[in-house]
Amino acid sequence: MKTVKTFSFCWCQKIVVLCIQMMLLLGASTVFAQHKTAVKKVFKVPQRACVLEPVVSDARIEKMKKAAKNEDDFYVEADDVNYYLFQPGELMKRHGQKSILVPATYTDILFPNGQIIHADTIAFGSMILYKPDKNPQVVSSVDFAEAYQSYFVPAKGKRRR
């Protein structure tokens, strides 16, 4: 006659140990994933006069959608911003200057003079003007033409070096 083994204490102990190991493994992978997303990436600005155009991240767009009264309001505002971002592009073409896109994956923007601007603090539709002998200036795309002229074009009566 064969004896049938029943569920023994040894098997219960092995299952409990296996479950604990799985929980530890999942917990460690979650902590690692959180650490991975918290890593800061720094965009280094070149040592020349330029206009920076920060790209808005998908997460920030979702936050703005939720903050809007309704989805239509968000899309109307986004459409307006796109129009106002088109105007600086045309102005820069006339002056022979291109904008540098700062990808949404970067959290900080580091300028050659050591100044840092956090990408999250820049308003949607704003741009950054930079010239090596001046501090960077964040400007709205709505009044970009005036800001561009006063920042890059020297005042009359002053000589260029």
Dihedral angle computed from the Cα positions of residues 59, 143, 52 and 119, in that order, rounded to the nearest 10 degrees: -30
Q: Is residue 24 part of a domain?
A: no
The pLDDT value recorded for residue 44 is 95
Contact 114, 154 (CB under 8 A): no
For residue 27, being part of any structural domain is answered with no
Q: Please write the tens of the pLDDT for every residue from 61-104.
A: 888 888 888 888 888 888 888 888 888 888 888 888 888 999 98
Assess contact for 81 and 141: CB atoms under 8 A: yes
Instruction: Confirm whether 100 is domain-assigned.
Output: yes
pLDDT for position 132? 92
Any domain includes 36: no
Q: 30 lies in a domain?
A: no
Helix (H) or strand (E) holding 27: helix 9-37
pLDDT at 67: 86
Q: Give the chain's domain count.
A: 1
The answer to whether residue 106 is domain-embedded is: yes
Please report the pLDDT score of residue 21 as a whole number. Answer: 67
Q: Per-residue pLDDT tens for 3-49?
A: 655 555 566 577 766 657 666 666 655 555 544 555 579 999 999 99
Q: Is residue 111 part of a domain?
A: yes
How far is it, in rounded angstroms, from Cα 158 to Cα 149? 14
Cut 0.85: pTM above it: no
Is 159 a domain residue? no
pLDDT of residue 29: 54
Residue range of the domain that includes 69? 42-152
